[in-house]
Amino acid sequence: MDNLALIDSFSEFKESKKIDRVTLTAILEEVFRTALKKKFGTDDNFNIIVNPDKGDMQIWRNRVVVADGEVEDPAAQIPLSEARKIQDDFEVGEDVSEEVKIADLGRRAILALRQNLQARIFEHDNATIMKRFENLQGTIITGEVHHDVRHKMTIIHDDYQNELVLPREEQIPGDVFRKGEPVRALVKSVEIRGTKPSVILSRTDPRFLELLFEQEIPEIADGLIMIKKVVRIPGEKAKVAVESYDDRIDPVGACVGMKGSRIHGIVRELCGENIDVINYTTNLQLYVTRALAPAHLSSVEIDEEKRHISVYVAPDEVSKAIGKNGQNIRLATKLVGYEIDVYREGSDDLDLSEFSDEIEQWVIDALRGIGCDSAKSVLELSKEELIRRTDLEEETVDYVINVISSELEG
C-alpha cells in the first residue's frame, strides 16, 4: 500500500465524522511518528508532510553524509557510500533528504498504523461528542427519529448524525414517534458506556417543561417573568409557579395568553398534559390555596415544625382538591414543599382519593362501589363485611385497613 492509498482509505471516514483538516493532519502526523519510532528507534530528523484534502502525504528522512566507517549516530548520519546510492554526487558534510515509503515500514507496521489511526480518530470523535453535549446538557435540542430499539428506547439523530438515546421511561406516555419525524427533548445527561459516549434525552424532566416555557413565552425569555418551580406528572398534569417583579405584568395571563393561545403549543408538545399556571407568593397560606385550585378551601392550618398543612374544604370540594387519581394534591405537595392533608369541613375524615398513592385505584373503586367514599366509612365496617361486600381478598382488605388506620391515628 502506498501513501496515497492509505490516506484515501480514510477519506470517506473523515467526511462522515466531520473532522476538520487541521485536526486530521495532526492525528495523521502523530500516528506516523509513532510508527517511525518503532521502525527507526526515533522520529527525530523526519519531516512528515500531510495534505489529507488531496490524499497526499510524504515522509522525508534527513541525515548528514559522513565518511564510511565514521557513523556515530545512525539516526542523524549516513555513510557516503549509502548516500551515493540515493544520488551519486553527494559529498561528506552535505545534507541528504530521503523519502520513506510506507511500504518500507513493513506489513505488520502498516497494519498497526491503520489500527492506531482509526482508534485515534474514533477517540477524537468521542471526545468531540462529549464536549459538545456536556455544553448542551440542560438544554433542548431537536433531532430526527431514526429507529426504535425493542420498545425500550428511541434513537434520535441530530444534525451531525450523532446517535442520541431517548429511553422509554424518559418519554411521555402519549408519545408516538415515526421514523424521520422531528422530536424535541432535553439533553439530560452525557455518560460513557463501554468505549462510546451516550447522550440521554428526556421529555419527562420538569426542566423540559420549564425550557418550553422559555421558548414560547417572550416575557420569560426576556427575564420579565421568572419561573419559580415546575412539578409534573408527565402527560397528565403539571403546575408551574411564576412571578413577575414588574407590577404591570400579569405573569399568569402572559404565560397562558388570550384564550390559551400561548400555552396551547406547549400542551400539544406534551401530548395534552394539563398545565396549571399559578402566581408564586411567599405567603404560604395563599400559595397553598392557589396550588390546590380549582378547589375552594374553607381554612388552612400550617405546622411549620413538621412541614405539614391541613386544609379543610366543603364535602363537594374534596374531589377537586384531591384531583383525578390524587394528581392535584400530589402536585400541590411537591410545589409547596409541605405534606398536605385534605379534610372535610367540620370533620377529621379523609376522602379515599387521598390514599391513591398507597392504595390502587381499582381497590378504591371497589370500596366506593359499596358506598365507602371516605376513610371513616371504611373503618366503620368490619373486615368480614368489607370482604363480603367488595369481594376483595383478605390480604388486600387488611392492607387497606392498616393504611387508613395509620393515617387517621397519625
Query: Would you kindly state where each structural domain of the chain is located, as residue ranges?
Result: 3-129, 137-204, 281-347, 349-410
Going from the C-alpha of 159 to that of each of 16, 156, 318, 319, the distances in angstroms are: 12, 10, 50, 48
- Per-residue cell: 362: 381499582
Return the closest-CA partner of residue 201 out of 191, 183, 211, 188. 188
Domain 281-347's class? alpha beta
Provide mean pLDDT across the span 100-113.
75
Helix or strand run (H / E) with residue 58:
strand 56-66
C-alpha–C-alpha distance, residues 32 and 184, integer Å: 43
Q: How far apart are the C-alpha atoms of 91 and 71, rounded to whole Å?
A: 14
| 8 Å CB contact between 237 and 230 | no
**β-strands 297-303, 77-79: how paired?**
unpaired
How confident is the model at residue 75, as a pLDDT? Answer: 83
Q: Which residue has the higher pLDDT, 352 or 268?
A: 268
Span between the terminal Cα atoms of the chain, in Å: 82
Say what the pLDDT of residue 4 is: 45
Distance of CA 348 to the CA centre of its chain: 44
Please tell me the distance from the alpha carbon of residue 271 to that of residue 268, in angstroms, as a whole number: 5
Q: What is the CA radius of gyration of the chain?
A: 36
Most confident of 6-15, 26-35, 205-214: 205-214
Confidence of residue 376 (pLDDT cuts 50, 70, 90): confident
* Closest CA relative to residue 341, chosen from 284, 303, 369, 372: 303
More confident: 36 or 210 = 210
Q: Residue 187: phi, psi to the nearest 5?
A: -80, 100
* E-strand stretches of 194-303: 196-202, 225-233, 237-244, 274-279, 297-303
Q: What is the pLDDT of residue 1?
A: 43
Q: What share of the chain is helix, strand, coil (3-state, %, to 5)?
A: 45, 25, 30
pLDDT cut 70: percent of the chain above it: 93
Mean pLDDT for the stretch of residues 194-207: 91
User: Among the listed ranges 3-17, 219-233, 282-296, 386-400, which one has the minimum average pLDDT value?
Assistant: 3-17
**Angle formed at CA 239 by CA 353 and CA 329, multiple of 5 degrees:** 20
pLDDT at residue number 114: 75
The fold of 3-129 is N Utilization Substance Protein A; Chain:P; domain 4 (3.30.1480)
User: 3-class DSSP state for residue 346?
Assistant: coil
Q: Is the pLDDT of residue 182 over 60?
A: yes
Nine-digit cell at 262?
Answer: 400561548
For range 284-307, the mean pLDDT: 94
Mean pLDDT of 70-92: 88
Q: Quick one: what percent of the chain has pLDDT higher than 90?
A: 47
Rounded Cα distance, 254 and 225, in Å:
9
Burial class (CB within 10 angstroms; exposed 0-12, middle 13-18, buried 19+) of 384:
exposed
The pLDDT, as a whole number, for residue 295 is: 93
Confidence of residue 129 (pLDDT cuts 50, 70, 90): confident
Is residue 164 predicted with pLDDT exceeding 60?
Answer: yes
Task: Give mean pLDDT, residues 151-167.
Answer: 90
In this predicted structure, the answer to whether residue 159 has a pLDDT above a threshold of 60 is yes
Tell which wins on pLDDT, 20 or 400. Answer: 400
Summarize the confidence of residues 372-384 as an average pLDDT. 88
More confident residue, 250 or 49: 250
The CA distance from 90 to 344, in Å, is: 108
Asked whether residue 233 carries a pLDDT value surpassing 90, the answer given is: yes
On the question of pLDDT at 12 being above 50, the answer is no
Which of 14-23, 95-104, 208-217 comes out lowest in average pLDDT?
Answer: 14-23
Mean local confidence (pLDDT), 31-40? 83
Residue 45 pLDDT exceeds 70: yes
Range from 203-207, 281-285, 348-352 carrying the lowest mean pLDDT: 348-352
The overall average pLDDT reported for the chain is: 87
Tell me which CATH code domain 349-410 carries. 1.10.150.20
Sign of CA dihedral 261, 263, 266, 271: negative
pLDDT of residue 53: 62
Phi and psi at residue 63, to the nearest 5°: -140, 165
Of 216, 142, 204, 215, give the one whose Cα is nearest residue 175: 204
pLDDT of residue 11: 52
pTM score over 0.75: no
The four Cα atoms 270, 276, 281, 283 give a dihedral, to 10 degrees, of: -130
Cell of 246: 414588574
| 202 half-sphere exposure, CB direction, 13 A CA radius | 18
Confidence at residue 161, expressed as pLDDT on a 0 to 100 scale: 85
CATH architecture designation of domain 137-204? Beta Barrel (2.40)
DSSP 8-state symbol, 296 = P
Position 52, amino acid: P
